[in-house]
């Protein structure tokens, strides 16, 4: 099937098998390697990307379903060489270790902060609870989201 | 994890979708949110030859009160239920359950009606619908029928929806003017299926219970409606003694199995405790 | 908590103890990491594995003709094909054997039976469904107790001389002295408990890309390996390939936790397939494959008995342990210790006598016994003693903190020789305990607990303490090896003409922050800023030989090597500086990043100036360049310690429980990068909580694995994971060049007992004395209902 998907702002047209999962389309057809695969059961969230601005687990969607829609991956977070505040905060707060869950976590955080710019710790923990991390114990991820929220609100002032 | 091959259809209208289902019958599987179906296909526990993706059909994604009931379209995501003002203010049992469905990212895709069609006895929405006396609207080329949820849920992972039918909508009766409800779920972690889930609903008039609904999750081959407990409540005034009696009857209605989540005795006792807690919480926070 | 610092300051000169933000982050936050799955080669094929549905069955036949006929399938590899090349079996890291692909029998559910190699991964999985295997089911042995009964089905009938299912019998300590101690005791308390099978479950599963060049014979294998050098040697021995023709590259690794130490069948078959087909072959494991077949951890059945005098002084410890090894003995552990370092079971306590008896048994389960965020079975040992001390406290009516304090090894006893033969390097346990008690508000929480008990509250409160000591940093070559290869580690340092440097290590990080921490070590010793240093690991052609990263050994071994090689370079730099400044070497003094002439501080040469001279103006007779290599054989293990305290709230009606406060006081000696150390501790605490609360690889009576995906094998999310309050004390290691002890695993080792102690403490007034992990709500409820009241 021929599909056209807007990926990080650019329209991409490809021929795919209907059964191809969105994550394989992103990784193998488009060559964007930030989305990973960590489970078989829609549990871990390391494949998370934004579909029309909302996080989805790209292992649990067929690429053909994204035809005509818009996707953002971690590769699209930085603009003009500037890290997104969420990316900068994951670095400054040591919100990552092995880095495998990081792209999905950051995309979830980005979408969440757009909906809730001043969240509590509890709200952040709730928002990232569809994404597993095995290294950090989440605490520094929470700190990173808090730091990003502060930085984003200062910028918007 | 790599699904088997299938033929993909993405009908643009309801009519096209129904025609496809009429043509292909059991060979076709409807794809809505896909959060139950696609994992099964990846594990190759399911390998439908034909997928009918209904996501491009307009008009199936509305939540609205109309004709004496709440109508939830086939493409309403759990995310939308969680954030719906009408549900938050008028359907507290649904509002309490919504944030406990799977996890936040899955809720962005998964649908309410799709979850009902999946008929997982550990699914939460079936119990909520049993407590609220909801129904499912099934459409086919032959017409439409409204199936009460108790008749719709037929067994583990089976419903009475015919292969040529599409569940286009779920309906929940108007709760009236004095009502309360909640959903309690014992899960081992976010994203886990319920060890035990309890949906409760009470409608009252001047302190007297006029309608009661109790649905149980994870303690039987389907979601269970605790009918005897409901009947015990109706006509009474909510008191500790009545709550304990209803909780005892609900626990009797449960038919749990011992498994890695706990023993049958444990689950039955949690039903008792949760029904009591749910009724107490509901009685304490009525909407009038 | 720490604040981030990026440069030396007047207050904090040098680079030690600085929370330098991680250098490696840049690629990960941009989605530019390079994990095995990101390796794509031209003409690459994909491999998928067919696994056994049975725990124990004879293979009657395998028919792969339909799979072979599927368009896109290039090969189907079976055990029979491998046997023709003498590759059907391979050694485990404990010197046992393990099947690559089953030939005679399958011995656990999920065992590798055949592999499909195809042009496309979807097609490879289509082909798996077309392979027809005829099995003759056999009775499965699913517990080690059943395995050792007379007449139990023999699992390893492939091994000459193996007449039963016993793997080993091993003892440590002094039986007679321990008997005498028990004979003189006023009180004996005991605990029988099971540390269930767990799985490290890094978010990235295992995988490899094997590329054997048919012309040159060179095999380049990108592999998820925590120990690439050791794997290269094993490959040379198994496959008979010349070692110079094998290059193992561990690219970025998405978490390891011990799971990525062993050699797995997928690696071997992919390499063999590439060799036979002449094209690169990629194998990426799925989650079920990871959980069902790769290195598990724990699975120890333990009984501990503690002898005490009337005042609560510990006199002796007696331990029996039965280990469930699965069908192969595949612990990644030093060869002379059959149950790893389980004999560290005396923990933080001055026990005059101890005797530890261990047995291992084969069962129809996956092999493993990997050091899951743990120094070789110390996690099980620490859990047993820290639970046992709590049981003793209840039995003799003493406060568990006091009982610990009065039995601690005292500061003046170090170096302390334990009753089972360890020599603890340094420690000061009471201050860590006291700090933790203070931070948790011990007296207030105990008062609140009493109030809730008196009120008969539904939500009861419990306090769990664990004061753990572990032994890590393996290790001294006299005692520590893997398959005979000594457990030294290495560092190679080259300073470039412009004063920048590359540091190459024999270890391989998986998120531990080596690219920053080890750069800081060099920065500390030579004054080259960490940002100017590249740390390279994981490529066996381009790094010195080492045993890898696990068992918290990187800083104790490779970190020491990095410091020492940097010091060697500094001494050469002194000679060059003396030549440049035309003074005698002894007239120079070093500060931070430069040599200056004593008494003439304006005459200086910075390390950058010296490095340039090393290539442009070095003294005649001296070798040019500024580089060196150091292989470091540690004189002893290091012995970090900690006190963890958990306050848990338990709903006695439903058994649900929540940790409401978690205080950790860790002493890992000198901290190089406190931010990274704290990250390690929080990760460790989370996995400790996970094991206490939910993680378990369980089996039914037929040996079917219940826990083969993330719906059944539970990993905590941010919602369940508690908030942690971290504190520290510092007792340097006397023998490590920087005083460091290692920290990656302390919290995983020590904290499970604190969580379980807290839950048991909350319901101990109801008569509950023990609840085995994972402490699911159902188990709490059942313990309350079974208690005498």
Does C709 reach chain A within 8 Å, measured CB to CB? Answer: yes
pLDDT at C2: 45
- The minimal CB distance from C718 to the residues A40, A74, A125 is found for A125
Q: How far is B10 from chain A (nearest CA, A)?
A: 9
Q: Do B42 and A62 touch (CB under 8 A)?
A: no
Instruction: Report the CATH number that the domain containing residue A151 is assigned in CATH.
Output: 1.10.150.120
- ipTM (interface predicted TM): 0.98
Q: Domain span at residue B127?
A: 63-173
pLDDT in tens, B43-84: 999 999 999 999 999 999 999 999 999 999 999 999 999 999
C781 and C643 in a single domain? The answer is yes
> Which of A65, A114, A132 would you mutate first to test chain B, the one with the most B CBs within 10 A?
A65
Model confidence at C273, pLDDT cuts 50, 70, 90, reads very high
Model confidence at C333, pLDDT cuts 50, 70, 90, reads confident
A11 and A72 in a single domain? The answer is yes
Q: Do B109 and A56 touch (CB under 8 A)?
A: yes
Distance CA C426, CA C473 (A): 14
pLDDT at C8: 60
Residue that finishes a domain, picked among C592, C611, C632: C632
Residue that finishes a domain, picked among C569, C600, C632: C632
pLDDT in tens, B137-173: 999 999 999 999 999 999 999 999 999 999 999 999 9
Residues 6+ apart with CB under 8 A from C523: C14, C15, C529, C530, C533
Instruction: Report the CATH number that the domain containing residue B13 is assigned in CATH.
Output: 3.30.43.10
pLDDT in tens, C493-506: 999 999 999 999 99
Q: Which of residues 95-154 of C touch B (CB under 8 A)?
A: 121-122, 124-126, 129
Does B44 reach chain C within 8 Å, measured CB to CB? Answer: yes
Is the confidence at residue C105, as pLDDT, over 70? yes
B166 and B109 in a single domain? The answer is yes
Q: Is residue B250 in some structural domain?
A: yes
Ordered alpha helix ranges (H), C129-256: 144-147, 175-183, 228-239
Residue that finishes a domain, picked among A76, A94, A129: A76
Residues 6+ apart with CB under 8 A from C98: C89, C90, C91, C92, C265, C327, C328, C330, C367
Residue that finishes a domain, picked among A27, A46, A76: A76
Q: Is residue C519 in some structural domain?
A: yes
Q: Which residues of C touch B3 (CB under 8 A)?
A: 122
Residue that finishes a domain, picked among C632, C662, C693: C632
Interface of A with B (CB under 8 A): 1, 17-19, 21, 40-43, 45, 48, 54-57, 59-62, 64-65, 67, 108, 126-131
C772 and C714 in a single domain? The answer is yes
Token code pair at residue B143: 């017409």
A72 and A97 in a single domain? The answer is no
pLDDT in tens, C494-546: 999 999 999 999 999 999 999 999 999 999 999 999 999 999 999 999 999 99
C622 and C688 in a single domain? The answer is no
Cα nearest neighbour of A40 on chain C: C287
Model confidence at C84, pLDDT cuts 50, 70, 90, reads very high
The 8-class DSSP code of residue C31 comes to T
The number of domains in chain B is 3
Q: Do B105 and A1 touch (CB under 8 A)?
A: no
Q: Domain span at residue A151?
A: 85-155
Check if C374 is active-site: yes
Q: Is residue C600 in some structural domain?
A: yes
C611 and C646 in a single domain? The answer is no
Nearest Cα neighbor of C171 from C395, C373, C308, C356 is C356
C451 and C558 in a single domain? The answer is no
DSSP of B102-151: S-HHHHTT-BHHHHHHHT-TT-HHHHHHHHHT-EEEEEETTEEEEEEHHH
- The minimal CB distance from C709 to the residues A34, A40, A90 is found for A40
Nearest Cα neighbor of C716 from C685, C744, C679, C672 is C685
What value does the mean pLDDT take over residues C351-361?
Answer: 98
Does B6 reach chain C within 8 Å, measured CB to CB? Answer: no
Q: Is residue C53 in some structural domain?
A: no
C625 and C650 in a single domain? The answer is no
Q: Is residue B243 in some structural domain?
A: yes
C644 and C531 in a single domain? The answer is no
Residue pair C308/C186 in contact (Cβ under 8 Å)? The answer is: yes
C780 and C642 in a single domain? The answer is yes
Angle (CA) C521 C583 C498, round 5°: 40
- The minimal CB distance from C778 to the residues B4, B103, B262 is found for B262
Is the confidence at residue C665, as pLDDT, over 60? yes
Does C748 reach chain A within 8 Å, measured CB to CB? Answer: no
B157 and B186 in a single domain? The answer is no
A122 and A71 in a single domain? The answer is no
CB atoms within 10 A of CB C345: 30
Q: Is residue B261 in some structural domain?
A: yes
Is the confidence at residue B223, as pLDDT, over 80? yes
Q: How many CB pairs under 8 A join A and C?
A: 172
C652 and C546 in a single domain? The answer is no
Q: How far is C41 from chain B (nearest CA, A)?
A: 21
Distance CA C156, CA C162 (A): 7
The number of domains in chain A is 2
pLDDT in tens, B113-135: 999 999 999 999 999 999 999 99
Q: Which residues of B touch A3 (CB under 8 A)?
A: none
B194 and B228 in a single domain? The answer is yes
Q: How far is B105 from chain A (nearest CA, A)?
A: 6
A111 and A56 in a single domain? The answer is no
A137 and A107 in a single domain? The answer is yes
% of chain B exceeding 70 in pLDDT: 99
Q: How many CB pairs under 8 A join A and B?
A: 87
B201 and B265 in a single domain? The answer is yes
Position of tokens 């996970």?
A: C690
Strands C45-51 and C281-284: parallel
Token code pair at residue C301: 């059945």
Nearest Cα neighbor of C56 from C123, C128, C202, C154 is C154
Q: Is residue B57 in some structural domain?
A: no
B198 and B168 in a single domain? The answer is no
Residues 6+ apart with CB under 8 A from C500: C528, C532, C533, C534
Instruction: Name all chains with 3 or more CB-CB pairs below 8 Å to chain B.
Output: A, C
Q: Is residue B268 in some structural domain?
A: yes
Does B1 reach chain C within 8 Å, measured CB to CB? Answer: yes
Is the confidence at residue C664, as pLDDT, over 70? yes
B132 and B204 in a single domain? The answer is no
Residue pair C288/C50 in contact (Cβ under 8 Å)? The answer is: no
What value does the mean pLDDT take over residues C56-73?
Answer: 98
B157 and B211 in a single domain? The answer is no
Residue of C318, C373, C574, C671 marked active site:
C373
Distance CA A42, CA C472 (A): 37
A116 and A65 in a single domain? The answer is no
Residue that finishes a domain, picked among A46, A76, A106: A76
Check if C373 is active-site: yes
pLDDT at A13: 98
- Give the number of C-alpha atoms closer than 13 A to the C-alpha of residue C126, restricted to the C-beta side: 18
With a cut of 70, list the residues of chain A below it in pLDDT.
157
**Stretch (H or E) spanning C105:** strand C105-106
Model confidence at C471, pLDDT cuts 50, 70, 90, reads very high
pLDDT at B287: 65
- The minimal CB distance from B4 to the residues C126, C698, C715 is found for C126
The number of domains in chain C is 2
pLDDT at B123: 97
Is the confidence at residue C748, as pLDDT, over 60? yes
Does B239 reach chain C within 8 Å, measured CB to CB? Answer: no
Q: Is residue C252 in some structural domain?
A: no
Does C513 reach chain A within 8 Å, measured CB to CB? Answer: yes
Nearest Cα neighbor of B72 from B41, B124, B111 is B111
Q: Do B3 and A59 touch (CB under 8 A)?
A: no
Instruction: Report the CATH number that the domain containing residue B111 is assigned in CATH.
Output: 3.30.465.10
Model confidence at C788, pLDDT cuts 50, 70, 90, reads confident
Q: Do B105 and A126 touch (CB under 8 A)?
A: no
B34 and B86 in a single domain? The answer is no
- The minimal CB distance from A54 to the residues B5, B34, B108 is found for B108
pLDDT in tens, C215-236: 999 999 999 999 999 999 988 9
Instruction: Report the CATH number that the domain containing residue C567 is assigned in CATH.
Output: 3.30.365.10
pLDDT in tens, A27-68: 999 999 999 999 999 999 999 999 999 999 999 999 999 999
Residue pair C100/C87 in contact (Cβ under 8 Å)? The answer is: yes
Q: Do B186 and C714 touch (CB under 8 A)?
A: no
pLDDT in tens, C177-206: 999 999 999 999 999 999 999 999 999 999
> Which of C29, C37, C41, C674 would you mutate first to test chain A, the one with the most A CBs within 10 A?
C29
Instruction: Report the CATH number that the domain containing residue A9 is assigned in CATH.
Output: 3.10.20.30
Is the confidence at residue C12, as pLDDT, over 80? no
Model confidence at B219, pLDDT cuts 50, 70, 90, reads very high
Q: Domain span at residue C682?
A: 402-412+428-473+638-789
> Which of C373, C661, C718 would you mutate first to test chain A, the one with the most A CBs within 10 A?
C718
Q: Is residue C773 in some structural domain?
A: yes
Is the confidence at residue C560, as pLDDT, over 70? yes
Q: Do C717 and B44 touch (CB under 8 A)?
A: no
Residue of C205, C206, C374, C668 marked active site:
C374
A66 and A12 in a single domain? The answer is yes
A131 and A91 in a single domain? The answer is yes
C626 and C663 in a single domain? The answer is no
pLDDT at A156: 72
C645 and C778 in a single domain? The answer is yes
Is the confidence at residue C3, as pLDDT, over 50? no
Q: Is residue B2 in some structural domain?
A: no
Q: Is the peptide bond prior to C415 cis by the omega test (within 30 degrees of 0)?
A: yes
pLDDT at A105: 98
> Which of C196, C654, C709, C773 would you mutate first to test chain B, the one with the most B CBs within 10 A?
C654
Cα nearest neighbour of C721 on chain B: B189
Query: Strand pairing partners for B196?
Result: B186
B45 and B77 in a single domain? The answer is no
Q: % helix / strand / coil in chain A, to the nearest 5? A: 40, 15, 40
A128 and A145 in a single domain? The answer is yes
> What average pLDDT is seen over chain C?
96
Q: Is residue C225 in some structural domain?
A: no
pLDDT in tens, B192-206: 999 999 999 999 998
Q: How far is A125 from chain C (nearest CA, A)?
A: 5
Residues 6+ apart with CB under 8 A from B240: none
pLDDT at C332: 84
Q: How many CB pairs under 8 A join B and C?
A: 60
pLDDT at C1: 41
Is the confidence at residue C42, as pLDDT, over 70? yes
Name the region of B258 (left: φ>0; alpha: ψ -120 to 50; beta: rest): beta
Distance CA C454, CA C466 (A): 26
Is the confidence at residue C29, as pLDDT, over 70? yes
Instruction: Report the CATH number that the domain containing residue B273 is assigned in CATH.
Output: 3.30.390.50
Q: Is residue B21 in some structural domain?
A: yes
Does C777 reach chain B within 8 Å, measured CB to CB? Answer: yes
Q: Is residue C36 in some structural domain?
A: no
C459 and C510 in a single domain? The answer is no
Residue C312 backbone dihedrals phi, psi, to 5 degrees: 100, 5
Q: Which residues of B touch C122 (CB under 8 A)?
A: 2-3
């Amino acid at each position: 099937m021929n599909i056209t998907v807007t990926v990080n702002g650019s329209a991409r047209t490809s021929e795919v098998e209907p059964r191809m999962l969105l994550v394989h389309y992103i990784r193998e057809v488009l060559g964007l390697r930030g989305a990973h695969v960590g489970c078989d059961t829609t549990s871990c969230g390391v494949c998370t990307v934004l579909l029309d601005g909302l996080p989805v687990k790209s292992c649990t969607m067929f690429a053909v379903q994204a035809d005509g829609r818009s996707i953002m991956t971690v590769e699209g977070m930085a603009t003009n060489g500037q890290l997104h505040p969420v990316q900068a905060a994951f670095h400054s707060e040591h919100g990552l270790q092995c880095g495998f869950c990081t792209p999905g976590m950051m995309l979830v955080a980005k979408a969440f902060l757009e909906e809730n710019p001043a969240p509590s710790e509890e709200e952040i923990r709730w928002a990232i609870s569809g994404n597993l991390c095995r290294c950090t114990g989440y605490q520094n991820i929470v700190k990173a989201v808090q730091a990003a929220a502060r930085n984003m609100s200062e910028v918007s002032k | 994890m790599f699904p088997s091959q299938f033929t993909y259809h993405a009908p643009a209208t309801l009519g096209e979708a129904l025609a496809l289902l009429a043509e292909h019958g059991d060979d076709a599987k409807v794809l809505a949110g896909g959060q139950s179906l696609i994992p099964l296909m990846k594990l190759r526990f399911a390998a439908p030859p034909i997928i009918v993706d209904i996501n491009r059909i307009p008009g199936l994604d509305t939540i609205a009160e109309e004709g004496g009931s709440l109508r939830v379209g086939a493409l309403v995501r759990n995310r939308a239920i969680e954030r719906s003002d009408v549900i938050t203010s008028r359907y507290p049992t649904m509002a309490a359950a919504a944030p406990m469905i799977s996890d936040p990212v899955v809720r962005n895709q998964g649908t309410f009606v799709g979850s009902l069609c999946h008929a997982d006895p550990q699914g939460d929405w079936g119990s909520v619908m049993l407590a609220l006396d909801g129904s499912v609207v099934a459409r086919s080329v032959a017409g439409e029928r409204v199936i009460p949820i108790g008749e719709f849920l037929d067994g583990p992972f089976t419903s009475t929806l015919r292969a040529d039918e599409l569940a286009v909508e779920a309906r929940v009766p108007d709760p009236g003017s004095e009502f309360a409800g909640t959903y309690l779920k014992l899960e081992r972690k976010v994203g886990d299926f319920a060890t035990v889930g309890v949906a409760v609903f009470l409608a009252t008039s001047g302190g007297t219970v006029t309608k009661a609904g109790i649905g149980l999750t994870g303690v039987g081959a389907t979601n269970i409606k605790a009918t005897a407990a409901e009947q015990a409540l109706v006509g009474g005034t909510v008191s500790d003694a009545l709550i304990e009696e209803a909780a005892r009857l609900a626990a009797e209605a449960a038919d749990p199995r011992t498994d890695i989540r706990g023993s049958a005795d444990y689950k039955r006792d949690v039903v008792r405790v949760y029904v009591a807690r749910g009724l107490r919480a509901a009685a304490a926070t009525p909407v009038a | 908590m720490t604040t981030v610092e990026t440069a030396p300051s007047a207050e904090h000169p040098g680079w030690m103890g600085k929370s330098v933000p991680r250098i490696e982050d840049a690629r990960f936050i941009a989605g530019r990491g390079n994990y095995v799955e990101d390796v794509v080669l031209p003409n690459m094929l994909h491999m998928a594995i067919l696994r056994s549905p049975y725990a124990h069955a004879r293979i009657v036949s395998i028919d792969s003709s339909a799979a072979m006929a599927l368009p896109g399938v290039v090969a189907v590899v079976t055990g029979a094909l491998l046997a023709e090349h003498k590759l059907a079996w391979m050694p485990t890291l404990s010197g046992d054997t393990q099947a690559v692909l089953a030939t005679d029998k399958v011995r656990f559910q999920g065992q590798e039976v055949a592999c499909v190699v195809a042009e496309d991964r979807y097609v490879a999985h289509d082909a798996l469904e077309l392979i027809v295997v005829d099995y003759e089911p056999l009775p499965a042995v699913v517990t080690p107790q059943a395995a050792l009964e007379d007449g139990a089905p023999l699992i390893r009938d492939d091994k000459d001389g193996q007449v039963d299912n016993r793997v080993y019998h091993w003892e440590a300590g002094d039986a007679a002295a321990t008997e005498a101690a028990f004979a003189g005791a006023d009180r004996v308390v005991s605990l029988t408990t099971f540390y269930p099978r767990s799985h490290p479950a890094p978010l990235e599963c295992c995988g490899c890309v094997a590329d054997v060049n048919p012309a040159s014979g060179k095999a380049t294998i990108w592999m998820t390996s925590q120990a690439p050098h050791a794997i290269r040697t094993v490959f040379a021995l198994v496959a008979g390939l010349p070692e110079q023709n094998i290059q193992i590259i561990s690219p970025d690794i998405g978490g390891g936790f011990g799971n990525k130490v062993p050699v797995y069948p997928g690696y071997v078959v992919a390499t063999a397939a590439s060799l036979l087909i002449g094209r690169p072959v990629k194998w990426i494991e799925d989650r079920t494959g990871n959980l069902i077949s790769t290195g598990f951890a724990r699975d120890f059945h333990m009984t501990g008995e503690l002898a005490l005098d009337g005042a609560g002084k510990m006199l002796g410890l007696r331990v029996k342990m039965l280990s469930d090894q699965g069908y192969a003995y595949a612990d990644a552990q030093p060869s002379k210790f059959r149950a790893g370092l389980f004999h560290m079971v005396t923990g933080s306590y001055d026990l005059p006598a101890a005797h530890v008896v261990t047995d291992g048994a084969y069962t129809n389960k996956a092999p493993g016994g990997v050091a899951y965020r743990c120094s070789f079975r110390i996690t099980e040992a620490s859990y047993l003693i820290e639970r046992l001390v709590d049981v003793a406290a209840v039995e003799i009516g003493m406060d568990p903190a006091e009982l610990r304090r009065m039995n601690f090894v005292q500061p003046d006893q170090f170096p302390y020789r334990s009753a089972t033969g360890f020599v603890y390097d340094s420690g000061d346990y009471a201050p860590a305990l006291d700090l933790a008690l203070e931070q948790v508000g011990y007296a207030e929480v105990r008062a609140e607990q009493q109030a809730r008990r008196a009120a008969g509250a539904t939500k009861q409160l419990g306090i769990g303490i664990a004061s753990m000591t572990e032994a890590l940093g393996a290790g001294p070559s006299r005692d520590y090896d893997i398959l005979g290869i000594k457990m030294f580690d290495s560092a190679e340092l080259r300073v470039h003409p412009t004063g920048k440097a590359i540091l190459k290590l024999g270890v391989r990080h998986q998120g531990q922050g080596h690219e920053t921490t080890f750069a800081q070590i060099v920065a500390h010793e030579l004054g080259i800023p960490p940002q100017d240093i590249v740390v390279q690991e994981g490529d066996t052609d381009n790094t010195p030989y080492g045993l890898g990263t696990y068992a918290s050994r990187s800083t104790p071994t490779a970190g020491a090597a990095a410091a020492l090689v940097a010091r060697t370079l500094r001494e050469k730099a002194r000679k060059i500086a003396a030549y440049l400044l035309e003074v005698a070497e002894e007239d120079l003094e070093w500060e931070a990043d430069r040599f200056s002439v004593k008494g003439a501080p304006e005459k200086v040469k910075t390390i950058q100036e010296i490095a340039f001279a090393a290539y442009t103006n070095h003294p005649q007779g001296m070798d040019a360049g500024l580089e060196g290599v150091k292989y470091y054989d540690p004189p002893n293990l290091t012995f970090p310690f900690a006190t963890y305290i958990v306050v848990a709230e338990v709903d006695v009606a439903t058994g649900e429980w929540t940790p409401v406060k978690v205080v950790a006081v860790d002493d890992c000696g000198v901290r190089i990068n406190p931010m990274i150390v704290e990250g390690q501790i929080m990760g460790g605490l989370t996995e400790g909580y996970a094991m206490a609360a939910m993680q378990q690889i369980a089996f039914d009576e037929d040996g079917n694995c219940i826990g083969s995906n993330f719906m059944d094998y539970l990993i905590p999310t941010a919602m369940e994971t508690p908030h942690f309050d971290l504190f520290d004390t510092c007792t340097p290691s006397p023998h490590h060049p920087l005083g460091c002890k290692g920290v990656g695993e302390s919290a995983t080792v020590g904290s499970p007992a604190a969580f379980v102690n807290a839950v048991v403490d909350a319901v101990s007034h109801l008569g509950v004395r023990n609840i085995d992990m994972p402490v699911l709500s159902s188990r709490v409820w059942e313990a309350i209902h079974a208690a005498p009241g």
